[in-house]
Chain A
Amino acid sequence: MPPRPPENSSAGPVAPEPARRSTLSRRGFLTAGGVAAGVGVSVAALDLPFFSVAGAAQDPMACRAADVSASDARMVISNWTGYIDPRNKPGSTLADFTSSTGIEVEYNVDVNDNAEFYAKVKNQLGSCDPIDRDLIVLTDWMAARMIGLGWVQPLERSAVPNLHRNLIPDLQGKAWDPDETFHAPWQSGLTGIAYNAAEVDEVGSFTELLTREDLKGRITLLTEMYDTMGFMLKVVGADPGDFTSTQWEDAMDRLRQVIADGQLRSFAGNNYLQDLSAGNILACEAWSGDVLQAQLENPDIRFVAPEEGLSLWSDNMLVPNQATHQDNAERWIDYYYDPEVAARLAAWVNYICPVQGAQEAMEQVDPSLVDNPLIFPDAELLRTTWDFKALDDREQSQYEREWADVTTG
């Protein structure tokens, strides 16, 4: 789900735009001259603090800290909840990492939402200040935005050989970082449809989800624009990977129509599977890993690859600017791209494993999962997946604002 930074399709660091007329550097208190100039001059001339905010783009080359990994065997990670095997147990992947490398890991589960995390770090990264993290995990489109803003450090190719050797081909070559210079997928997932088999017949396509009378008012869609709008574009016959603005408007109108018809109960970011399990909704747009976990409690919950196809996405490890333990972070990335480690992790988190060779290694870890298509999708399934077209900054702003307007009525 890659929005592309403007003027820079090769996703390299983006130089900040030239400073505007009134920038941070010119913030200041009212001066005597300002008062004198005030007569007959617009108030803008007063140049008060907070007036105008410069762009937040940075140059990662100019915005890096000295690496202290060699002398300080530590690193700090921010990840989503439930995204790693129990880490305080001996024999966990994290414990093994620490015992084999000697690196102490401070593992935070403080990512709940891409936009929220972005809002949290925006002020620091936007002004080249450290956020005290060596590795953060964000979804494709947010990773693309941060890379585009120049907030992410490039990984040293030679330090992460496993990444370049073992990343599955379907996740390679993203428009926003074609050769994995800045990101390494942590786990991947599919976006499709889930339904409650105890209540309704199978919901085989997105079009069905949006039109079937028996589902009226009993479905939810995801709050992630790239997921949901990808499907909407498919529904109106467009290709999410390459669409025109007219097609985008068609897809938006279709969505507005769905809302106006009362087909949709709400947009959901989390808890949607609880609603599905509790019978409040009958079907929904869903993430594969969530469905696998929900099935453990309620076998009636089913995941469907809709006729329109599936969206394949990843949550990606990124080294933010001013990280002081990049070497250690790179060792972590390389460690988790070891197929055996990846298999152990995948056996626990039930998301799609981005590491080639992990399926074979899974024979030793948990043979029952080897053929699970939601962990190791076969080529046929992966062929139906699609990717969202890269958006430039203006498109991104425009689409996200339209999206926000639709979802908040």
Chain B
Amino acid sequence: MSVEAPAPPRTPGGGRADRPARRSRRPRGSVTGYLLLAPAGIFLLAFFVVPFYSLVATSLFDPSGSDFRGYEMTYAWGNYVDVVRDYWGPLLRAMAYGAAATAACLVLGYVLAYAIAFKAGRWKNLMLVLVIAPFFTSFLIRTLSWKLILADDGFVVNTLQVLQLLGDDGRLLATPFAVIAGLTYNFLPFMVLPLYASLDKLDPRLVEASSDLYANPVAGFFKVTWPLSLPGVVSGTLLTFIPATGDYINAELLGSTNNRVIGNVIQSQFTDANNYPVAAALSVLLSVLIVVMVLVYVRRAGTEELL
């Protein structure tokens, strides 16, 4: 602590001489700090705390209410028990699809990000633009296009059938594969960009050094490249897993009745059945589950500083 830090002028109750500079400095700094925090704080309050509070409140309403009769707050914690009992299937399915899509994104995205960072040369910027190019069209249109690609009489299915990789009656559309493929496609950029940012910072001389120190390419990748790209891996998997788990458009458009995920349930409970308490309880449950999983994951990955 600096002893000679300038005291603020005119502190109440005394001149600057009789106060340690250290103490008199503090109020000014902290007020400025809080002022700087205010916009973010107000934003969070208005767009996170209040809606989430409302969501939690709604989740505790008496589920027998309706728009006609209104909804009464009865602290129906049983709603949570009910939604777990009734919807653990779609909940687990959403997690499984999200995890599968995240894994697929990680493998594909890593290869792509690696190629862009180390092999693309002057095409680097163009390739990065191409990675985000799908965002120039609507999410819905992109997903619908996959219906055409994976159609039963489409090129992909026919090719796989010719190659005997898919039975004559086999199909891709309306299977978990299609849902996961759609999720993978839609969220791949969220994986590639953080991975690229990590890999691009990686000093290629470190890889040379590992090879100089008897690490074959495989060992070099797992001992040097991979650990150094972990921040990108962690943020990429989070940015992919979280929205992929909550997404319902892909399951809606590409899946079958047996591939519905928790997002479909929430959407349908909310808009079709007007069952707000159940929809809210599911939403809260999903948020809490994801936060817990993220915390466990980040802790295990040893990258708490990311949060």
Contacts and interface: CB of A to CB of B under 8 A. Distances in A.
Interface of A: 5-6, 14, 17, 20, 22, 42-44, 48, 50-57, 113, 115-116, 118-119, 122, 126, 148-149, 217, 223, 225, 259, 262, 264-267, 271, 275, 278-280, 393-394, 396-397, 400-401, 403-405, 407-409
Interface residues of B, number: 45
B54 interface: yes
Contact of B68 (A22, A57, A403): A57
Contact of A404 (B72, B152, B174, B275): B275
Contacts of B144: 271
Contacts of B256: 217, 264-266
23 contacts: A20-B70, A22-B73, A50-B53, A50-B54, A50-B58, A52-B70, A53-B70, A55-B66, A55-B70, A57-B68, A119-B271, A122-B67, A217-B174, A262-B258, A265-B256, A266-B255, A393-B69, A396-B66, A401-B269, A404-B268, A404-B269, A407-B268, A408-B265
Nearest to B55: A50
Interface in B170-222: 171, 173-174
B151 interface: yes
B273 interface: yes
Contacts of B67: 55-56, 122, 126, 149
Interface of B: 53-54, 57-58, 61, 64-73, 75, 86, 89-90, 144, 147-148, 151-153, 171, 173-174, 255-260, 264-265, 268-275, 278
Contacts of B72: 20, 52
A113 B268 CA distance: 12
Given A122-B67, A280-B151, A403 B58 contact: no
Contact of A48 (B57, B69, B265, B274): B57
Given A280-B173, A408-B268, A409-B89, A56 B260 contact: no
B64 to A, nearest CB: 8
Contact of A407 (B86, B147, B257, B259): B257
- By Cβ-Cβ distance, the 6 closest A-B pairs, closest first, are A55-B70, A404-B273, A409-B260, A404-B268, A279-B153, A51-B73
B273 A403 contact: yes
B69 A403 contact: no
A409 B64 CA distance: 21
B57 A409 contact: no
Contacts of A113: 271
Contacts, number: 129
Contacts of A265: 174, 256-257
Contacts of B64: 397
B139 to A, nearest CB: 16
A53 B280 CA distance: 14
Nearest to B93: A409
A265 B278 CA distance: 26
A399 B168 CA distance: 39
A111 to B, nearest CB: 14
Nearest to B71: A53
Given A264-B257, A280-B151, A408 B264 contact: yes
A401 B68 contact: no
Nearest to B150: A280
B253 to A, nearest CB: 8
A106 B57 CA distance: 39
Contacts of B69: 17, 55, 393
B272 A403 contact: yes
Given A44-B73, A55-B70, A280 B152 contact: yes
Contacts of A118: 271, 274
Nearest to A52: B73
A393 B68 contact: yes
A393 B256 CA distance: 31
Contacts of A264: 256-257
A278 B258 contact: no
A259 B258 contact: yes
A401 B275 contact: yes
A271 B69 CA distance: 35
Contacts of A119: 270-271
Given A17-B70, A149-B68, A401 B89 contact: no
A80 to B, nearest CB: 17
A214 to B, nearest CB: 11
A42 B270 CA distance: 29
A409 B258 contact: yes
Given A56-B70, A126-B67, A259-B257, A51 B273 contact: no
Contacts of B173: 280
A66 B151 CA distance: 54
A405 B258 contact: no
Given A22-B73, A52-B73, A408-B264, 4 more contacts: A149-B68, A265-B257, A266-B255, A280-B171
B68 A400 contact: no
B271 A278 contact: no
Contacts of B61: 52-53
A409 B68 contact: no
A279 B173 CA distance: 12
A116 B272 CA distance: 8
Contacts of B260: 407-409
Nearest to B259: A409
A279 B152 contact: yes
Nearest to B267: A408
| Interface-centre pick from A5, A44, A54, A397 (highest chain B CB count, 10 A) | A397
A405 B73 contact: no
A24 to B, nearest CB: 10
A55 B67 CA distance: 6
A109 B14 CA distance: 71
A53 B54 CA distance: 11
A401 B282 CA distance: 14
B274 A397 contact: yes
